[in-house]
Amino acid sequence: MKTAHLLVIEDDAEYADFLKETLAQHFMSVTVCYCGSEVFSKIESVTPDVILSDYKMPGLDGLELARFLRDRRIWTPLVWLTGWGSKEVVRDAWRAGVFEVLEKPTPTATLLETLQRALEYGREGLKAPRPQITLKDSFVKLQLSLPREVYDELEKESITEGMAPSSLAKTILRDYFASSKARKAG
């Protein structure tokens, strides 16, 4: 990692400085943006290998940052730090192509391991396997890749609350996958 450039986006100045000091021991350079909007001016000049960003910030949140990067075809792996962990955040991250979501406070060893995997993922030309976002309920993982209308139908069935899938939910999923298969074939 000593040859890699890291961009940290964190609006809590004290935490941002802690991250910079801690991560500077492991990266060639660490650039810090203290608000999301600073990214606009720094992203082109910094050319990071990995981006570590707070999820909830004034001016530009993590989801808007992910969209900004993808709209400009910047495929740098993005790792979110959040104190606001929820199924919605994880779902948004997955759909936005975020490499991984970590909850604050994150142990330094976990953060370094995640950044190393993100770095390898980026250096492999995005060919390395993307990590699966792990949730307690494996059925929720499936919902993350479903269209919103299917997810909404399943949510009505209380599956997102960790209950076993009902017959109706199984039917909803079977119908969705059957129609997807038919669209691809036709």
> 103 forms bridges with which residues in the sheet?
82
Task: Identify whether 129 is part of a domain.
Answer: no
Split into its structural domains, the chain has a count of 2
Q: pLDDT tens digits, residue range 142-165?
A: 444 556 666 566 556 544 444 444
**pLDDT, position 72:** 84
Task: Identify whether 71 is part of a domain.
Answer: yes
Q: Are residues 98 and 180 in the same domain?
A: no
Q: Are residues 118 and 177 in the same domain?
A: no
**pLDDT, position 163:** 43
Q: Are residues 119 and 27 in the same domain?
A: yes
Please report which confidence band the pLDDT of residue 45 belongs to, taking 50, 70 and 90 as the band edges: confident
On the CB side of 89, CA atoms within 13 Å amount to 19
Residue 139 clears pLDDT 70, i.e. is over it: no
Give the residue among 116, 90, 92, 94 at the shortest CA–CA distance from 102: 90
**The whole model's pTM is what?**
0.67
Q: Are residues 30 and 114 in the same domain?
A: yes
Q: Are residues 27 and 114 in the same domain?
A: yes
Structural domain boundaries, residue 35 = 5-123
Residue 10 clears pLDDT 60, i.e. is over it: yes
pLDDT greater at residue 8 or residue 153: 8
**pLDDT, position 20:** 94
Does 48 sit behind a cis peptide bond, omega within 30 degrees of 0 on the bond before it? no
